[in-house]
Structure 1
């Protein structure tokens, strides 16, 4: 299960277990919940990450999921994935790499892109619309969608919602210990990942019902343990 993968947090290639997550984000309530996940273990099932991605979307379609848009990063921007989303009748919004070939053998970053978006021909797919977003640090993102007549504000709202994936990843790591399993067997690791995600759901339910953050929930447990330890030490000083 353990293999070398690119880490967005470490900004380098590290050894770890690859997890492909699918989240549902509610734009009105501004909250997200995981609806599926897959463990990337090509040695056991022969599936690459793009295969897991496509299969999870197909299952979501069968379960009646109707998203406003499917959002993913550039890693999942293969033609097969984009066509798969289109086949479900869904809109997709995606970041494309600057050297992606469009408009009959031209690189994306060589095009003049208007503020209102520019229609381009994505080789092997068809016509899409691209917007150019420049961050304060100078980073440039090329955001592309198959939605007809999209606005810049629409794409920005969708891309802002994508950040919820990173929030979920941070919470399940810091609060639920998904990376802290000391077991060595594949089955034990898989069980640990499932239980960590289940723990996140339990904490998320408390966050909604009691208006208490996941971090506060964990701190309350720690405070209770410290209080109990001090009580014992005072009762039995020797």
Structure 2
């Protein structure tokens, strides 16, 4: 084909599904040219910086893969590393769980749906408070309202302690949804009407303890210990929850951690070097939609997303092995 070929978001997503790492507009153009579609890298650059891909494009693709009246919604944020960048827009210094310190990067707040086996992102927001004035908690409530408008009725909504503020908990109550969250060890609760104490000072049985949370109402708190021996505290508005339920939900919470890891390892979400905010946002949108294609294979054919990615690479390696170009 000639260089008149028009780049679409689907073209770029296909490239991200197959790519390994360190992607760029130059490499995208090179790969398409070798596939018989001659196109310049400038076209990919213009596509990224001049399009305006919204979260609605994600929803249109993921909606057929999920069941809105079942499953769990899990929310968390991650940092798309831009540690060494100086001129990439939308970057902020923020805490990174991966690096265990404040780093420079793009904040991505994501809401995923899971049935316990498959995990699909259903909404996301870019944390850019200098542009829109919204905090991560604002983004949480925006996505919860959107999910409600789309007809979701999850078993539980789950999130980290960062999002366990009273305003968010009350907002979930207004929606009529059960919630389950981590809480910090110094969270103040009242177990016996004698006054507020830190949750870490309580003797919490395996089946949890009902306590009163100031300005909210009664909740149930739980205690667990992770593999490193560190204490973890949990809370829910489901007062009948027991040890088995807590342990099950705690495991389901990890679905979003696995999603973030796969998004970075398999879908090149951190590898875009475009400086303009629009380019970064469009790249993130396409990376998330690339993940959907891999997870859909998992759902339909019962192979993991890592196996699906390896199929692409193993076929390419097999073609090279037929005629090793760089053999001595």
TM value normalised by structure 1: 0.92
Could you say what secondary structure the match of 1:191 adopts? helix
Instruction: Indicate if the aligned counterparts of 2:118 and 2:295 stay in contact, CA closer than 8 A.
Output: no
Task: Give the equivalent residue in structure 1 for 2:210.
Answer: 119
Residue 204 of structure 2 aligns to a residue whose secondary structure is coil
User: What SS is found at the alignment partner of 1:52?
Assistant: helix
Residues 71 and 159, structure 1, Cα contact 8 Å, conserved in 2: no
SS at match of 1:10: coil
2:153 is the counterpart of 1:62:
no
- Compared CA separation, residues 51 and 237, structure 1 to 2 (3 A): closer
5 Å-filtered alignment, 1:220-231, equals 220-231=311-322
For the aligned residue pairs, the C-alpha RMSD in angstroms reads: 1.9
Worse-superposed segment, 212-221 or 131-140: 212-221
Q: What is the rounded CA distance, in whole Å, between the counterparts of 1:227 and 1:109 in structure 2?
A: 56
Distance 1:194 1:152, change over 3 A: same
Separation in structure 1 between the aligned mates of residue 147 and residue 322 of structure 2, nearest angstrom? 51
1:149 aligns with 2:236: no
The number of aligned residues is 235
**Gaps (5+ residues) in structure 2?**
1-89
Pair 1:109-2:200 in alignment:
yes
Shift of residue 131 of structure 1?
1.2
TM-score (norm 2): 0.68
Q: Which residue of 1 aligns with 2:48?
A: none
**For 1:187 and 1:136, how far apart are their aligned partners in 2?**
41
Structure 1 counterpart SS, 2:274: coil
> 1:195 and 1:136, CA in 2 relative to 1: closer, same or farther beyond 3 A?
closer
How do 1:193-232 residues align onto structure 2 when only pairs under 5 Å count? Answer: 193-231=284-322
With CA pairs under 8 Å and 6+ residues apart, which has the higher RCO, 1 or 2? 2
